[in-house]
Amino acid sequence: MTEVEDMSCEELDCMDSLQNAGQGEVEESLLLLANVALAPPCGDEAACACDSEACSSVVEGSLQSMQLQLQFLMSKADDLQDCLVSGQGHLEKEALASAVPEFIYTCQPFFNHLESTARCTVSQLTLPFDMYTQLLDLSQQLCDRLQQLVITYASYNVLCLDETEPNSVSHFCIGQFHLGPLRLTTFLYCKPTPYLARVDTGIYKCMRWNVDRLGDEQQADVERGGESETETVGDTEFYFLCCEDIPITEADDKSQDVPHCSVVRLWSIGQWVQVKPDPESEDIYDWVLCDIPQASYERLLLLGSDEPSSCKATDFLQQLLLSQQTE
């Protein structure tokens, strides 16, 4: 009896579902997500001109649509996990391994809509705080579910979380939004990952933000309610949410109200400061011959021993960047 013949009817149905959920379903899901109506984008004159009550009404209706969309995506995640638990055989593992990254990709427009609407500086002036928090709560729910899904797949050896491997799913994007002249893209690591791939710094990254400083033309496109067609070439900074285990001495243990243990895990937000190759170097060979860039970690904000949620950590970074703009 062949491997396929040995599968149960339920497993074959699961396989058919995964195989049929190819590029067509990915495109269909993207269209479905893209068509969900939200508040006017940051910079849109309609958004700036409308009064608070009118804007709240628009977003309240959109919030209901987003809640339904979240239910749809969460059910898809449950289906993928059910297929993993009931699945048998090498062929099905290959289908599952490709289905999860494709599904995460279909979630990107949903994350982008939520983050850009909630965090847009114009929206924050018009949205009631409860709507702001509800939008980010939807984003956090899906973020946590996807992280759990990827970790579960990794525990079955279907996916790899080692970022040094070319086909790993060590991290994924959880939204993009604009903050004045800045464009922030947020990534979540599925587990604490060494800050540097080949050097043990004792620092582990859990989130990354790519912060692009837009040129005048790109910023003008955003302010008109569109997206720049020109990709940012330079002026990209990298910020991280990191954790590190700090030894606790007996004196520290007595002077601070901390549980009795040998180490305490501390969280911080910091910036990637490139060391190798020299960022000031104009020698092209320095860059071409560098296998893996090396950098130091500049701590900018100490968060203490409580791990922040991904949304809360982005709140902290947003406040930090806004404070830098006003200096």
pLDDT digits (tens, 9 = 90+) for 189-212: 999 999 988 888 899 999 999 999
Q: What is the rounded CA–CA span in Å between residue 74 and residue 146?
A: 9
Question: What does the pLDDT look like over 46-69, one tens digit per residue?
Answer: 333 345 555 566 667 788 899 999
Q: What confidence tier does 45 reach under pLDDT thresholds 50, 70, 90? A: very low
Give strand pairing partners of 94: none
Residues 117 and 195 in one domain: no
pLDDT of residue 129: 83
> Domain range holding 142?
11-159
Residues 218 and 134 in one domain: no
| Whole-number Cα distances in Å, 286 to 148, 154, 199, 235, 282 | 40, 36, 20, 19, 8
In the three-class reduction of DSSP (H, G, I as helix; E, B as strand; rest coil), residue 117 is classed as helix
Residues 136 and 273 in one domain: no
* Number of domains the chain contains: 2
Q: What confidence tier does 127 reach under pLDDT thresholds 50, 70, 90? A: confident
Contact residues for 176 (Cβ-Cβ < 8 A; gap 6+): 111, 112, 115, 116, 183, 184, 185, 186
Residues 31 and 101 in one domain: yes
Give domain status of residue 4, yes or no.
no
Give domain status of residue 1, yes or no.
no
Domain boundary among 130, 159, 188: 159
Residues 243 and 196 in one domain: yes
Residues 279 and 171 in one domain: yes
Give domain status of residue 94, yes or no.
yes
Give strand pairing partners of 212: 183, 236
Residue 166 confidence (pLDDT) above 70:
yes
- pTM confidence score: 0.78
